[in-house]
Chain A
Amino acid sequence: MSVVLSVRDVVKTFGAVRAVDGVSFTVRRGTITGLLGRNGAGKTTTIRMITGVFFPDSGSIEWLGSERDARDRIGYLPEERGLYRQMKVKEHLLFLAEIKGCRGAAVGQSAERWLKRFELWDKRDSKIEELSKGNQQKVQLIGTLLHEPDLIILDEPQSGLDPVNMLLVRNLLQELKDEGRTILLSTHMMAEAERMADEIILVHKGKVVLSGALDAVRDSFGKNTLHIDYEGDGAFLQHLPQVKRAMIVNNAAELSLTEGADPQHVLEATLGRLRIRRFELASPSLEEIFIEQVGAETMESIR
């Protein structure tokens, strides 16, 4: 698969802080790439360098496979709403397309198609401020896509969304991917990234600590993680000698086993104490990998 964007050794400092410290990665066409990391890890700064808001202090950002102006190839959905409250929906969409160099009847038709699909056509002449938050988010999303960008960059698209809109975004991203679009998804929600991303880039303190295809990354951590769903009090699981680290949430446990530990012993230990509904030896979850990579002290902040 061809590469759309290549980021090489970019560095950005603010005063004494190295917000981004030699980050390199590539984004391949037709994938969803998750840019993961804690708040303040350097995700947004990296995105801002890609979108051209900041210039990197050093390093390069290279766009490949098209002669289009780099800025016009990006569809950017910022973390918070970025719309003029006073403008009307359709007018605003056309403005967003126009500043990406797209104008004319085709854009109007495209806007109409999107608005109808998102059930906003009736509100095309309403002011943005008259819309509900979810609808504003939809307008923003249409504005991100209207100029048919090569790379769709979404910064925490799920933050502040209700479950219905979250599903809407998820389905849309999947659909866009199926159409062959490329998506860079910045998030700190590992479960969400795990569900959607083909590739991940894990950033911590301005550096890439892990990157690659999601499956490959998970496999590289070996199949020594137990996923157990149960009924009963599973608190004792974390104290078993075979268990190096445990994540226990409600009635599900994810146990990283010590080197050479036999999962069968864990199963035996549960007998008579828990009703097992699922017992699986698999690769660690992204969340588990994330914690291992960036330190257990971050557990609280990602929950």
Chain B
Amino acid sequence: MNKMFAVIKREYLQAVRKKMFIFMTLFFPVLMAALFIVPSLLVARGLGGKKVAVIDGTGGLRSSFSHHMEPETPDPEKALSGRKRGEVPQSLDIDYTDAHTQSNLDSAARPFLDRLYLDKDSGNGLDAVLVIPANAFAGSDAKMTYYSRSSADLISMERLGSISNRAIQRQRLSARGIDPGVVDTLTREVTIDSVQLSRSGEKKKGNAANFFVGFIFAGLLIIPSFIYGLETMRGIVQEKSERIVEVLVSSMSPRELLTGKILGIAAVGLTQITVWLTIIAAAGAVGAATAMTAGFDVSQFLRPMVFVYFALFFILGYLTFVCIYAIAGAACNTDKEAQQLVAPLQMVMMVPWFVMFVIITNPDSTFAVALSLAPVYGPLTMFARTLVSEPPVWHVLLSIAVSIVTIMVFFYVTAKVFRVGILSYGKRPTIPELWRWIKLA
């Protein structure tokens, strides 16, 4: 027991003294936050205007295209969401040309199209040209054409398209004798306000900020597991390649050694998240007021249960991953070999991260539930579910149980591979060979 403690102490002290640890501990939350906050700040400020020419073959839409359109009011909720991060409001500077007297719209548009490739700063350049055909009001097969340098400029296109369509619809209705004022009233869109109803009946403003907070927490949960998993793997490979392991194993059982290592590294992880959660809680307390004024309520994410779940699922996920890396480390002789062995496993382990969007948007879907109850994927997925939804208690408990069993099985396998692998200095074993080791040890 004392020997295991010596290993725990060594692993812990060596890890927390590393610059990497200090950097990760202090700056990683800032980095993660920046990753999501910077785009939203950009959103709030806008990305500058676009210059667009509209060639109107009908000649009747001038009033709908005022010369300068201000950006839509930035919506902080939308802005902060992962889903709509691309939707950056921008002002549109519209150069309207009435072309209903032109017989050939293409030739009328020509000089404008040439200006697409002129320097914008000179005042003549254009970002896009929209051509509205003369039969736009009547023709059933009428099509507008949108020209731009970038085929991916979907935002400006959709916005211009919706402005044009509303204008065209209004014209069509007016042509039937309906008063434009009435048209506006009748076609006004009704906005949606989303409310998340918790099991206890508490109403939360279920809003797009879920994405923002969900991704930050998910990142904080999963990324350290990979980083310290790799550290563990490297540590084991190093102990093998430098024969330290012979000294260690001649002093204690491989199981004591492995347990000590994993617990030591788990203690490092716990230290890290304790600091993080403190930072988040402090920043949350300070920032909550600011965030409130920006339009969303952070406090719902800073519920005590979130912290409990975070710590719990962090440890479960962490131990699972560390075991996987430890197996790779014990099986290989060089970092490179071990990296090659874990690279495909890493992709498999990352699955919940890749589908985080789906999980956060549909936390109670069959897919999310299945993933949250699966080994390896459980901790991250279940945490994401508890963050944005309120899964039934038995889901949470089952997920925890599955994770604990997974860790125990992995630990058993790791100990076996460790026992055989730490002293074999041959080439990297194949999977069947690994299997034999497990049976052999």
Contacts and interface: CB of A to CB of B under 8 A. Distances in A.
Contacts of A161: none
The 6 A-B residue pairs with the shortest CB-CB distance, nearest first, are A51-B250, A98-B6, A99-B251, A82-B243, A82-B247, A82-B244
Contacts of A244: none
Contacts of A245: none
B249 A52 contact: yes
Contact of B243 (A74, A78, A95, A100): A78
B250 A53 contact: yes
Contacts of A166: none
B279 interface: no
Contacts, number: 65
Contacts of B10: 87, 95
Contacts of B247: 76, 78, 82, 96, 143
Given A53-B423, A83-B244, A103 B2 contact: yes
A236 to B, nearest CB: 47
- State which size class the interface on A falls in: 20 to 34
Interface string A59-71: 0000000000001
B246 A99 contact: no
B3 interface: yes
Interface in A193-237: none
Interface of A: 48, 51-54, 71-72, 74, 76, 78-87, 95-96, 98-101, 103, 143
Nearest to A87: B14
A99 B242 contact: no
Nearest to B253: A52
A81 B248 contact: no
A53 B246 contact: yes
Interface hub of B2, B238, B250 (most chain A Cβ within 10 A): B250
Interface residues of B, number: 20
7 contacts: A48-B250, A51-B250, A52-B250, A78-B247, A82-B246, A99-B6, A101-B2
Contacts of A143: 247
Given A96-B247, A98-B6, A83 B242 contact: yes
B246 A78 contact: yes
A223 to B, nearest CB: 42
A80 B248 contact: no
Contacts of B239: 84
B244 A84 contact: yes
B229 to A, nearest CB: 19
Interface in B213-243: 238-239, 242-243
Given A51-B250, A52-B250, A53-B250, A101 B3 contact: yes
B243 A81 contact: yes
Given A48-B423, A79-B243, A74 B6 contact: no
A82 B239 CA distance: 8
B398 interface: no
A156 to B, nearest CB: 12
Interface string B244-263: 11111111100000000000
Interface string B320-338: 0000000000000000000
A76 B247 CA distance: 7
Interface of B: 2-3, 6-7, 10, 14, 238-239, 242-252, 423
A99 B252 CA distance: 7
A80 B243 contact: yes
Contacts of B251: 71-72, 99-100
A95 B9 CA distance: 9
Given A71-B250, A87-B14, 20 more contacts: A48-B423, A51-B250, A52-B249, A53-B250, A76-B246, A76-B250, A78-B247, A80-B242, A81-B242, A84-B238, A84-B242, A85-B242, A86-B14, A87-B10, A98-B2, A98-B6, A99-B3, A101-B3, A103-B2, A103-B6
B325 to A, nearest CB: 19
Contacts of A53: 246, 249-250, 423
Contacts of B252: 71, 99
Nearest to B13: A91
Given A48-B423, A95-B6, A84 B14 contact: yes
Interface hub of B7, B14, B247 (most chain A Cβ within 10 A): B247
Interface hub of A54, A80, A98 (most chain B Cβ within 10 A): A98
Given A82-B244, A95-B10, A99-B7, A74 B2 contact: no
Nearest to B17: A86
Nearest to B7: A99
Contacts of A79: 243
Contacts of B248: 99
Contacts of B14: 84, 86-87
Contacts of B249: 51-53
Contacts of B2: 98, 101, 103
Contacts of A80: 242-243
Contacts of A52: 249-250
Interface hub of B10, B246, B248 (most chain A Cβ within 10 A): B246
A71 B249 CA distance: 9
Nearest to B243: A82
A205 B7 CA distance: 37
B242 A98 contact: no
B419 to A, nearest CB: 10
Contacts of A74: 250
Nearest to B256: A99
B3 A98 contact: yes
Nearest to A76: B250
